[in-house]
Amino acid sequence: MRRLLILVTALALTLTGCGGLAEVSQKGGTADRTPVTIELWSFFTGREKGVVDRAVAGFHRKYPWITVKHVGGQNDDTMIQAVRAADPPDIELGQVTEAVPSYCSSGAWQDLGPYLRRDHVDTGQFPAATAGYTTGGGKRCAMPMLADTYGLYYNKALLAKAGFTHPPRTWEELTRMAERLTVRNPDGSIKVAGFVPFLDFYENNAQTVTAGWNLDWYAPDGTSALAHDPHWRQMLHWQRKLIDFYGYRDLQRFVTGVGKEFSSQNAFDTGRLAISVDGEWRSSFIAAEHSGLDYGTAPLPNTEPAHYGSGYLAGTTVGIPKGAHHPQAAWLLAHYLATDTSAQVSMARGLHNVPTTKAALASPRVHDDPAFDTFLDIAANPRSVSVPGTPAATAPKEAVTGFIQKWQSGAVPDLAAGLRGAARQVDGQIHQAKEGTAP
pLDDT of residue 13: 42
Return d(Cα 285, Cα 266) in angstroms, integer.
Answer: 10
State CA 290 to chain mean position distance. 25
**330: left (phi > 0), else alpha (psi -120 to 50), else beta?**
alpha
Question: Three-state SS for 108?
Answer: coil
- Residues β-bridged to residue 58: none
pLDDT at 439: 35
C-beta separation of 314 from 103 below 8 A: no
Termini Cα distance of the chain: 12
Between CA 295 and CA 154 the distance in angstroms is: 6
**DSSP of 405-421:** HHHHTT--S-HHHHHHH
20, containing H or E segment = none
- What pLDDT is recorded for position 434? 85
**Which stretch of DSSP H or E encloses residue 116?**
helix 113-118
DSSP annotation of 300 reads: P
Q: 294: Cβ–Cβ under 8 A, 6 or more apart, which residues?
A: 155, 156, 157
**Cα gap 110→106, rounded to integer Å:** 9
294, 157 Cβ separation under 8 angstroms = yes
User: Per-10-residue mean pLDDT for the chain, 439 residues long?
Assistant: 50 45 60 93 97 98 98 92 93 93 92 97 96 91 97 98 97 98 97 98 98 97 97 98 98 98 97 98 96 97 97 97 96 98 98 97 95 97 94 94 98 98 97 69
Amino acid at 199: L
d(CA 300, CA 295): 15
Q: How far apart are CA 180 and CA 121, in angstroms?
A: 51
How many CB atoms sit inside 10 A of residue 165's CB? 7
Tell me how far apart the alpha carbons of residues 329 and 325 are, in angstroms, rounded to a whole number. Answer: 9
In this predicted structure, what is the pLDDT of residue 319?
97
Rounded Cα distance between 337 and 124, Å, is: 16
What value, to the nearest 5°, has the Cα angle with vertex 209 and ends 273 and 380? 105
Q: Which pLDDT value is given to residue 29?
A: 83
> What integer pLDDT is reported at residue 16 of this predicted model?
45
Which pLDDT belongs to residue 338?
98
The residues, ordered by sequence, that sit 6+ positions from 175 with a Cβ below 8 Å of its Cβ are 238, 241, 242, 245
Q: Between β-strands 135-136 and 91-94, what pairing exists: parallel, antiparallel or unpaired?
A: unpaired
